[in-house]
């Protein structure tokens, strides 16, 4: 299997951390694609990723999987242990519920804030829109405040244990640093949860 990856880009990082948490990073060959040099927009790359995005996982039979979560679903299927997406119907639903909340209400609005306001993103997000940036920043900050309240009463984000929802939120907290925002320093309970994850082996280099 081959994983097309971009260092520092958060969506590919969701997949590499998921693989690390499975202890299976070695199961994929990694090919780096430079987003800043727009390598993902080449004709050849678009044959793998029609929407010109990273990551892509290319399977042995040539099937191309895009969408980080779909890639993780495949990896969970072939590497079932440790379970990161739910062992029974209730856990699966709780983990998916929280993972979607984190992706849709934190990760995506944060990305829209960053892309619409940071000078480094001007070439990729043309035109940038200040109003979208402001509204997206408000949405991301509002969700993170609610997440802090949730983590005041829970050690992990979903189902009382480590899961893909923690990985998605952990990547989003790191990604926030590009706007000089550190949710794990700003919020006590996110900070406690973040430290717990940082101490786990999947988070080490």
Ligand X SMILES: N[C@@H](CCC(=O)N[C@@H](CS)C(=O)NCC(=O)O)C(=O)O
Which parts of this chain interact with ligand X (CB under 6 A)?
Answer: 9-11, 35, 40, 52-55, 67-68, 124
CB of 2 to ligand X, least distance (A): 16
Beta-ladder partners of 161: 158
* Exposure letters 104-119 (e unless 16+ CB within 10 A, then b): ebbbebbbbbbbbbee
Q: Which is nearer to ligand X, 35 or 58 (CB)?
A: 35
Residue identified by tokens 């892509």 is 56
Q: Which is nearer to ligand X, 9 or 17 (CB)?
A: 9
CB of 21 to ligand X, least distance (A): 17
- Neighbour count for residue 150 (Cβ, 10 Å): 15
How far apart CA 188 and CA 194 sit, in angstroms, is 10
CB of 114 to ligand X, least distance (A): 10
Q: Which is nearer to ligand X, 22 or 40 (CB)?
A: 40
Residue nearest to ligand X (CB): 53
Beta-ladder partners of 47: none
How far apart CA 152 and CA 190 sit, in angstroms, is 8
CB of 163 to ligand X, least distance (A): 17
Q: Which is nearer to ligand X, 48 or 151 (CB)?
A: 48
Q: How many CA atoms lie within 13 A of 82 on its CB side?
A: 11
Radius of gyration (C-alpha) of the chain in whole angstroms: 17
Q: Which is nearer to ligand X, 11 or 83 (CB)?
A: 11
CB of 108 to ligand X, least distance (A): 8
């Amino acid at each position: 299997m081959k994983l097309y990856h971009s260092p520092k880009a958060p969506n590919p990082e969701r997949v590499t951390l998921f693989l690390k948490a499975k202890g299976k990073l070695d199961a994929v060959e990694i090919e780096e694609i430079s987003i800043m040099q727009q390598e993902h927009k080449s004709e050849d790359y678009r044959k793998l990723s029609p929407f010109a995005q990273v990551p892509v996982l290319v399977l042995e039979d040539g099937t191309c999987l895009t969408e980080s979560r779909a890639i993780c679903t495949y990896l969970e299927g072939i590497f079932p242990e440790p379970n990161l997406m739910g062992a029974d119907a209730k856990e699966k639903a709780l983990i998916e519920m929280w993972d979607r909340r984190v992706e849709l209400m934190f990760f995506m609005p944060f990305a829209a804030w960053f892309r619409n306001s940071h000078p480094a993103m001007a070439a990729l997000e043309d035109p940038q829109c200040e109003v979208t940036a402001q509204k997206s920043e408000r949405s991301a900050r509002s969700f993170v405040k609610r997440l802090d309240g949730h983590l005041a009463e829970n050690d992990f984000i979903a189902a009382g244990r480590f899961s893909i929802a923690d990985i998605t939120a952990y990547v989003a907290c790191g990604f926030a640093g590009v706007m000089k925002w550190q949710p794990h320093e700003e919020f006590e309970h996110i900070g406690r949860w973040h430290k717990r994850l940082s101490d786990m082996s999947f988070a080490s280099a």
